[in-house]
Amino acid sequence: MDSPEGPPPQRLRTLPSRLTNQAAQTANRIVDQALAQAGVRRYHYALLAALEEYGPASQAALGRRTGIDRSDMVATVNDLAERQLLERAPDPEDRRRNIVTITAAGRRQLADLDRLIAAAQDEFLAPLPAADRQNLIDLLTRLVGHHGDKRN
């Protein structure tokens, strides 16, 4: 991104880490705007997607699977439960723990969100033809796979 003073130094303009960060910021903004149309945030989408794909789970397990922090998980579960998009029930094996389950309304909402997310991905990747899009996904998947277990 150029400033009123001109472009950044060449060595900055070609750093993969810097370019990836700039692309991520743009992608996050586009996705956030798309999800805002439905009155939700990325955590809502991630939680509903995890529940739909993997089935009922404890809040702790969902936090580990989605990368949502414990305090954010509580707020997200509370919000989605108020909207009747998921249900909480005590775990029969450990009454201190809740099991979270997506509802039929949550599945319908997730389908709507999938359409918004797909449109956001198309907007973000607009300058790339289909082959380049797939190549980018493959390359990013390899990078995340290689570095993913080193985050903590």
Per-residue model confidence as pLDDT tens digits over 103-113: 999 999 999 99
Which whole-number Å values give the CA distances from 97 to 57, 67, 88, 101, in the listed order?
10, 19, 10, 13
**Strand 86-91 vs strand 57-58: parallel, antiparallel, or unpaired?**
unpaired
CATH topology classification for 44-119: Arc Repressor Mutant, subunit A (1.10.10)
Q: CA 62 to CA 46: how far, in whole Å?
A: 9
Closest CA to 33 of 113, 106, 120, 121: 120
Sequence ranges of the domains in the chain? 44-119
What pTM was computed for the model?
A: 0.87
List, edge to edge, every strand of the sheet that includes 86-91. Answer: 57-58, 94-102, 86-91
Q: List, for residues 62-100, the tens digit of each pLDDT value.
A: 999 999 999 999 999 999 999 999 999 998 888 888 999
Residue 137 CB coordination number (10 Å): 12
